[in-house]
Homo-oligomer: A and B are copies of this chain.
């Protein structure tokens, strides 16, 4: 916990702490758990996909947002952009080993949320009913 400087955090993993305001891990966590980042990592877990295949899988994402998301994940070393020098060029996206490890943890969380949605919906109904907004 506490303050971390750019110099100090580069020295060892122990120094990284997402609860600290300026820790770089907070930004990477944001890319991983962001609305489109999480779905993109999840979609690439089992497949190498082309841009338009990804766009269909991540229902609702715009071309611009998917492009920004992929750039951030590529920069973090989670996704590789594979461009084969064919004509026309064939571009595919796949996870790195780090990306796959991250996606595994993320999918465990996503699976839990999906499995427990009946509980969540019941809680929402009770909350709204208690406040007369349901």
User: What is the predominant secondary structure among interface residues of chain A facing chain B?
Assistant: helix
Residues of A at the B interface (CB closer than 8 Å) are 9-10, 12-13, 16-21, 24-25, 28-30, 32-35, 38-39, 42-43, 57-60, 74-78, 98, 101-102, 105-106, 108-110, 112-124, 126-128
Contacts of A58 in B (CB 8 A): 19
Residue of chain B at shortest CB distance from A118: B13
- Inter-chain pairs besides A12-B118, A18-B114, A77-B124, 10 sampled, C-beta below 8 Å: A13-B117, A18-B113, A19-B43, A25-B117, A33-B34, A75-B127, A77-B120, A77-B122, A77-B126, A105-B112
Q: Is the CB of A108 within 8 A of B110?
A: no
Contacts of A116 in B (CB 8 A): 13, 98, 101-102
